[in-house]
Structure 1
Amino acid sequence: MTLDDWLDIAAIALILIGALLCLTAAIGLLRFRDVPTRLHAATKPQVLGLILICLAIALSLRSWPVVAFLVPVVLIQLATAPLSAHMVGRQAYRNGTIDENALFVDELAESRRTPPAAGG
């Protein structure tokens, strides 16, 4: 077997693993009940699955312009997934849809008691 064959096999394996991770993220969004677990399912396996699929595309096509296109895609995903998860989690906390008894540390409890414009 040549190096090209091994790279193609690695690309197929990476696509399958990445697709499986994206599938588990989608199933987790449907099956989990509360916001924190859904956020975990939406961010971690989905981002890793996308990275693996992009790596498989780069291995399969073996082209530097393709790699140059995929690097910003991965970087933007790495930047936006945690930010969007943080914003959704914060809004769920403000709406009261998070079970406060399940929190180990509630760093936002003080800000919830004092309105933002109260100066305290």
Structure 2
Amino acid sequence: MTWDAALDIAALVLILAGALLCLTAAIGLLRFRDVPSRLHAATKPQVLGLVLICLAIALSLRSWPVVAFLIPIVLIQLATAPLSAHMIGRQAYRNGTIDRSHLFADELADSQRTPPAAGG
């Protein structure tokens, strides 16, 4: 087996794994009932799936300009997915759509009881 064939097989496996992770993320968004579970499905497998697909593209094309193009894509995804999940989760908490009995720690409850100007 040549080096090019091995890289092509590795790229194929990475594409399939990334596509499978993206598919499970989409299914999780549709099937999960509560907001924290949906946020987990929207961020973790989706980001890993995108990273695997970008890695497969880099292996398949074997070009440094392509790698230079893919690195910002991955970094932006790694930066924006947790931020958007945090904002969605916080808004769901404020709207009351999260079942607070299932939360292990509830730091926002303390901040809502104490007024911001109270100094506590």
Q: What is the TM-score with the length of structure 1 in the denominator?
A: 0.95
Deviation beyond 4 Å, 4+ runs, structure 1: none
1:53-106 C-alpha deviation (Å, 9 max, x unpaired): 000000000000000000000000000000000000000000010001001111
Number of equivalences: 118
Structure 2: gaps spanning 5 or more residues: none
CA distance in 2, matches of 1:33, 1:61: 40
Structure 2: distance between partners of 1:26 and 1:88: 17
Which amino acid is 1:60 matched to?
Answer: S
Structure 1: 5+ residue stretches without partners: none
How far residue 110 of structure 1 moved from its aligned partner, in angstroms, is: 1.7
Structure 1 vs Structure 2 CA RMSD: 0.9
Q: In the alignment, is residue 16 of structure 1 matched against residue 16 of structure 2?
A: yes
Alignment map for 1:109-120 (pairs within 5 Å): 109-116=109-116, 119-120=117-118
Alignment map for 1:51-62 (pairs within 5 Å): 51-62=51-62
Task: Give the Cα separation in 1 of the matches to 2:17 and 2:105.
Answer: 35
Give the Cα–Cα distance (whole angstroms) in 1 for the partners of residues 66 and 104 of structure 2.
44
Alpha-carbon distance between aligned partners in 2 of 1:114 and 1:97, rounded to the nearest angstrom: 22
**Cα deviation code 1:12-66 (max 9, x no counterpart):** 0000000000000000000000000000000000000000000000000000000
Q: CA separation in 1, counterparts of 2:23 and 2:112?
A: 36
